[in-house]
A and B are shown apart, each in its own frame.
Chain A
Amino acid sequence: MDLVNFEQVGLTINGRKLLSDIEFSMSKGEHVGVIGPSGAGKSTFLNLLLGFLSPTEGRVSLFEEDLSQVEVASLEDLRMNMGMLFQTNALFAEWSVYENIAFPIRYHYGLSEEIISNMVAMKLDSVGLRGAEKLMPSELSGGMARRVSLARAVALDPKFLVYDEPFTGQDPVTKSNLKELMMKLHRQYHVSSLIVSHDIQDLSEIVDRMIVIWSGRIVAAGTVSEVMNSSDKKVQDFIQGKLEMEQVQEKGDLLTDLIGGPHV
């Protein structure tokens, strides 16, 4: 079963071609990395996959449902099977750690507070933060906040986890712990995952395969070693950090504006 399927997907906004000829699919149980320099089209790819943008060409399917055909209610049902870790963590600052994790469980399952409390404790335990229930997001370190965000991402026991730049802004020790935690969660919850990052070294340790997006196109795809040994000059430049500024398209601002904007 294909979890995600992009068929000849293209996206043009205000006459600017942001993505073109994207062919991609991933199956249940896979862990796939999406890498590329800033402004390459990774966020656009993610927005299309999550249903926040519609392609102007081709078709995007999620859990074998064509996203251009699904109603809002069906999209909400599809997202029940997904969890997401945000680059900004997106924790609700006025709520405690407990409330941040309990909220989606309470909203969707309407369980008794005792059961919710046990579930929250279990989720926090799985990210190594048992006992942090009463802390407020402002009292958490960057690494702890990311782990709380991860605990919330798995709160509804998703089948598919999406990570948006999970390693950004983390120190090497936290990063290493986070990678271990991600792999542990993948095993524990039997989830598939898609990780968007610009850090190929970190990504290579946790994914089965990866795609490289460059100027809105997939320029390399395959297992980690296949991508690492790609003969494509752009890929090699990116791996070795030789990217020249003029090679990066200035699309970042536009895409940042789109996510979370018009769809709500």
Chain B
Amino acid sequence: MSSGILATCSRLGQSFWFVLRTLKAFPRRREHVKAILQQIYALGNQSMLIVFVAGCFIGMVVTLQGYMSLEHYGASSEVGGLTAYSIYRELGPVVTGLLFAGRVGSLLASEIGLMQINQQFVCLEMLSINASRLVLFPRFFAVLVSVPALNILFCLSAVMSSYLICTSALGVSDGVFWNSLEYRSLFFRDVMHGVTKSFIFGGVIAWVALYQGMYTEKTRLGLAKATTAAVVSSSLYILAIDYIFTALSRSFL
């Protein structure tokens, strides 16, 4: 029991130390900046389609469900605002985070884990190349900036799909939809709330995935475990942080 607690504390300390060293490895050369741009493209741009499609479907589902509930109370004209409110504040950052954790978290953990198993980090160090600057920091930074950007994309696609459903299938007029949206959701209160959350989620995904990869057991099973742990842990952390953030914002706002 006590050795288990000790091991958990030790891993926690190790992961804090790891993320601090990664964040300290700022780019110093052209190659490092190039690596950051490559990672933003590989991790962020390559996730745009999946996020856009997910946003469309979720926007449509929330609109239909909301419309059915609101119609019951004679408030169907509020559907645009309600959809936007829930997308901006909760569904956007959480679903984007979970999708990103599934796609990129597993990718990063397995990539870094395989590099570690094949001694490629030691190889880079022996070639006098700082692996943290060239490999770890660019990935961390790319995830950190990609998740908020993808969250915005998700929100836009969800709101646009909601608009299309409302105006084409539910008989809500343009003016009513946009008026409700403008009235219900505020830029700083709602949009920035979601963006801030997604920024934190990005940090969590990068931290968990890179750490799991870096400290993977050097076996085939170890790598599989690390990949699974990266996705499962970061997804659970996202949900837990979402609750804490929402509870705190309710207290302070």
B119 touches A77 (CB 8 A): no
- A125 close to chain B: CB less than 8 A: no
Of the stretches B47-55, B79-87, B126-134, B168-176, the one at the interface is B126-134
A177 to B24, CA, bound (A): 45
On chain B, which size bracket covers the interface? 20 to 34
For B128, what are the chain A residues with a Cβ–Cβ distance below 8 Å? Answer: 76-77, 79-80, 104, 108, 156
Known: A79-B125, A263-B125, A264-B125. A88 touches B130 (CB 8 A): no
Query: CB distance A107 to B129 under 8 Å?
Result: yes
Binds B, one of A183-191, A218-226, A252-260: A252-260
Chain A 149-190, CB within 8 Å of chain B: the 1/0 string?
000100110000010000000000000000000000000000
Q: For chain B, what secondary structure do more than half of its interface residues adopt (helix, strand, loop), or is it mixed?
A: helix
Smallest beta-carbon distance A164→chain B, Å? 9
**A residues 85-122 touching B (CB-CB < 8 Å):** 86-88, 90, 92-93, 103-104, 107-108
Nearest CB of chain A from residue B37's CB, rounded to whole Å: 16
Whether B218 pairs with A257 at a CB distance below 8 angstroms is: yes
Is A82 an interface residue when CB atoms closer than 8 A count as contact?
Answer: yes
**CB of B121 within 8 A of chain A?**
yes
Q: Shortest beta-carbon distance, B29 to chain A, in Å?
A: 8
Residues of chain A with a CB closer than 8 A to B215's CB: 261
Hey, which chain B residues are within 8 Å of A72, CB to CB?
A: 130
Residues of A within 8 A of B14 (CB): 262
B116 at the interface (CB under 8 A from A): yes
Q: Does A52 lie at the interface of the complex (its beta carbon under 8 Å from any beta carbon of B)?
A: yes
Q: Mark A50-94, 1 if CB is under 8 A from B, else 0.
A: 101000000000000000000010001101101110111010110
Quick check: B120 and A264 within 8 Å, CB to CB?
A: no
| Shortest distance between the CB of A96 and any CB in chain B (Å) | 16
Q: Which residues of chain B come closer than 8 Å to A86, judged between CB atoms?
A: 119, 122-123
Asked if B249 CB lies within 8 Å of chain A CBs, one says: no
Cβ of A52: which chain B residues have Cβ within 8 Å of it?
122, 125
A205 → chain B closest CB, angstroms: 25
Cβ B119 vs Cβ A260 within 8 A = yes
Complex-state Cα separation, A198 to B121, whole angstroms? 24
Whether A76 lies near B130 (C-beta < 8 A) is yes
A259 touches B122 (CB 8 A): yes
Q: Which of B202-229 contact A (CB under 8 A)?
A: 214-215, 218
Q: How far is the CB of B188 from chain A (nearest CB, A)?
A: 40
Q: Which residues of A contact B119 (CB under 8 A)?
A: 86-88, 90, 259-260
A90 engages B122 (CB within 8 Å): yes
**Bound CA span A242–B116, Å:** 34
Known interface pairs A90-B122, A260-B116, A264-B136; A156-B127 also in contact (CB < 8 Å)? yes
Min CB gap A258→B, angstroms: 11
- Chain A residue with Cβ nearest B130: A76
Report chain B residues within 8 Å CB of A162. 126
Decide: A79 and B218 in contact? CB cutoff 8 A.
Answer: no
Which B residues are in CB contact (< 8 Å) with A84? 123, 126
Q: CA of A155 to CA of B125 in the docked complex: distance in angstroms?
A: 14
Query: CB-nearest residue of chain B relative to A155?
Result: B127
Contacting pair A88 B125 (CB below 8 A): no
Residue on B nearest A104 in the bound complex, by CB: B127
Q: CA–CA, A93 to B125, complex, Å? A: 17
Taking a contact as CB atoms under 8 Å apart, the answer to whether A104 and B131 are in contact is no
Contact A92 B120 (CB under 8 A): yes
Interface string of B138-171 (1 = CB under 8 A from A): 0000000000000000000000000000000000
Contact between B127 and A264, CB atoms less than 8 A apart: no
Q: Does B118 contact A (CB under 8 A)?
A: yes
CB distance from B48 to the nearest CB of A (A): 23
Q: Convert A223-264 into 0s and 1s, putting 1 for each residue whose CB lies closer than 8 angstroms to a CB of B.
A: 000000000000000000000000000000000110111111
Q: Pick from A83, A104, A259, A263: contact of B129, CB below 8 A.
A: A104
* A82 cross-chain contacts in B, Cβ below 8 A: 126
B1 to chain A, nearest CB (A): 19
Closest to B22 in A: A264
Q: Give the chain B neighbours of A80 by CB distance below 8 A.
A: 128
Distance from A50 Cβ to chain B, minimum over Cβ atoms (Å): 7
The 3 closest A-B pairs by CB, nearest first: A260-B122, A90-B123, A90-B119
6 A-B contacts (beta carbon < 8 Å) = A77-B128, A84-B126, A86-B122, A92-B120, A107-B31, A264-B132
